[in-house]
Structure 1
Amino acid sequence: MQWLPGCSCPLCPECFRLHFTVGLRERGVGALGCPSCGRPDLRDDAQRLWYWSTLEPQLRRCLDPDTFGLVTRKLTELELLRDPQFLWCPHCSFGFIFEAERGPAQCPQCHQCCCPRCQLPVLVYTGLYWFILVSCPQCGQRFALARGGCLHFQCSQCRHQFCAGCGVPFHRPGTCPSPQCPLGGSLHGHHPRDCLFYLRDWEPARLQQLLQTGNVAFETEPPPEAPPNPTGRCPVPEQKEFGVTLRDEPCGRDTAPGQAGLCRGHYSEYLVSLINRHGLDPAPLYDPEELRAAAQRHLAAGRTQRLPGESEAEHRLRMLRMLGEEAPVRPRPQGAGLRALCK
């Protein structure tokens, strides 16, 4: 039997080899602790360095040279990703440091250009259309395409599970840190009230109203430099399944006037990204039922009932004040662990 550094869980030699052979090819080095107990905590720099340096002689003996080479390469990539000036070229996958204050960034390998902020090809950087961005709040890995509308996201680099709308972690059954949580027996996250998880059901006109109350400008027409769109359908790129393969294709859903040439879903995501970026609180636009539900989610139990002699209007004002004081909505910059449309 073989043992991994930092735990006492035995693995047979073949399981040991397969754990790293498959893991190094399909996952990140931040997710290759013990498959039984999960130790050590590879998010900690000191533990990660000790773990991989101690493990190296064992891996050298049991892995083929190509797979063993992935260890060094992936550890180097992980450290480079911590540098905010490090970029992956979207054209040739070459990594380089971009030190200028403004883009576009030119790859020294293929000489093509990309946006240094979202690392998308320069064609998109010039504003032709929107790409969906999802950023892992734990390791910073960024994903430029999406499949479907599910907000439960698992990072392929560090395996962290989080909400792609607001970045809060998803808790597996029985792991929620809140002992009074009524959802503790299921996979769930505690989303703030301005998360796309809640606001995606609002009509675009209502989201626009919230932006108008905050004096935030928004687009209603496609960018003037956008190429012709003869299909009239939503052009936002998505990753779609074709049998067993994945291919980048336009969304293709119907669009409507006043939605910047996008479908309802992608236009709503664009509006919500502006709401999040500016920290706008949707609570003042709640109807009585929405306000009651939000108060029950975000305020302590027993504090949401009407007081004796309190009118409906007074109760509403008290709930809004308590939500603002005890569960405030804060601005979230684009890319900080949330789902956004990069224009």
Structure 2
Amino acid sequence: CSYGFIYDGDQLKVTCFQCRNSFCAQCKKPWEDQHAGLSCEQFQTWKRENDPEYQRQGLAGYLRDNGITCPNCRFQYALSKGGCMHFSCSQCRYQFCSGCNNPFHTTCSVPHCSVTGLHAHHPRDCLFYLRDWEPARLQALLLRKGVAFNTDPPHGMQPGLCGVMEQKDEGGRQTDAACGGQTQPGHAGLCEKHYREYLVSLINGHSIDPALLFDANEVLVACRRYQVDIWRGEMEDDRAYLSRLLEKLMEEVPLGDKVPRKI
């Protein structure tokens, strides 16, 4: 409902005075009795393991429940990050990247930034960059660190259209709607775009640095983007040079804590 009120209690369960619906004060999800006595993370684990409806939805439910939180007002959206990465909060109008929470702005404070107009600066493990990687490459990065991932759809689910919810721009108006993209074999019942988002969420959740799979050009591009010195020694061969640059990039520009790291 549209009724608003200030809650200053210390209980997780909050009930709206107007519509009498209850929700959690921390994770903002509809209240269920199983949440009592459990942290939000423990409750989410319980749902994954025990709730038949959650299991039926498969990774579409996972992407929904690991949706978007406004870094300014903390309002939570049960939406995919895989739509437009430029997200505008309907509550406070804050504009940010849904993959890394960095702000979109026209006045940039980053030294030597040559970009004009509305833009954001993204860390190298942001979905903004990794959405361009093929699923096989994202899987290879996860396998390198021993992280398992799904390839099969939920039991009994038929191939069809992707049901992941995302924010869409329709005639200048932001609306929430199902993706509707065609699901792909081996993509766990998701379209390719949202399967990539799922894999990236695992990469982010385990703090895996994509630089581990960068080729020579990607190392140089990343160093220039993050203003890492690319000086080369006179006698330095290609392999030694790129190895040193990669190590320098990972040491001087760590992943940081901007990207949400939910597992």
TM-score (structure 2 length as normaliser): 0.76
Q: Structure 2 vs 1, CA of residues 125 and 292 (structure 1 numbering), >3 Å: closer, same or farther?
A: same
Map of 1:153 onto structure 2: 87
What per-residue deviation string (whole Å, max 9, x for no partner) do you get for residues 104-159 of structure 1?
Answer: 7249xxxxxxx9659x9x76534523143111112211111359721011111222
Q: Is the 1:147–1:240 contact (alpha carbons within 8 Å) kept by the matching residues of 2?
A: no
Match 2:123 to one of 192, 198, 201 = 192
Q: Is the 1:105–1:116 contact (alpha carbons within 8 Å) kept by the matching residues of 2?
A: no
5+ residue gaps, structure 1: 1-24, 26-69, 108-114, 336-341
AA in 2 matched with 1:187: L
Mapped partners of 1:187, 1:244: distance in 2: 17
Compute the displacement of 1:321 (Å). Answer: 0.8
AA in 2 matched with 1:128: Q
Compute the displacement of 1:221 (Å). Answer: 0.5
Compute the displacement of 1:256 (Å). Answer: 2.2
Residues 90-105 of structure 1 mapped to structure 2, 5 A cutoff: 94-97=21-24, 105=32
Match 1:179 to one of 105, 111, 122 = 111
Map of 1:4 onto structure 2: none
Map of 2:202 onto structure 1: 274
Residues 217-256 of structure 1 mapped to structure 2, 5 A cutoff: 217-224=148-155, 227-229=156-158, 231-238=159-166, 250-256=178-184
Segment drifting more, 232-241 vs 275-284: 232-241
Map of 2:54 onto structure 1: 125
AA in 1 matched with 2:129: Y
Mapped partners of 1:182, 1:244: distance in 2: 28
Match 1:204 to one of 122, 131, 135 = 135
Q: Structure 2 vs 1, CA of residues 219 and 97 (structure 1 numbering), >3 Å: closer, same or farther?
A: closer
Map of 1:260 onto structure 2: 188
AA in 1 matched with 2:89: C
Mapped partners of 2:15, 2:261: distance in 1: 19
RMSD: 3.6
Map of 2:243 onto structure 1: 317
Q: Is the 2:78–2:165 contact (alpha carbons within 8 Å) kept by the matching residues of 1?
A: no
Could you tell me the percent identity over the aligned residues? Answer: 44
What per-residue deviation string (whole Å, max 9, x for no partner) do you get for residues 259-280 of structure 1?
Answer: 1121110000000000011111
Mapped partners of 1:247, 1:157: distance in 2: 14
Q: Is the 1:295–1:323 contact (alpha carbons within 8 Å) kept by the matching residues of 2?
A: yes
5+ residue gaps, structure 2: 35-41
Give the total of aligned pairs: 240
Compute the displacement of 1:249 (Å). Answer: 5.1
Match 1:298 to one of 213, 226, 238 = 226
Compute the displacement of 1:214 (Å). Answer: 1.1
TM-score (structure 1 length as normaliser): 0.60
AA in 2 matched with 1:329: L
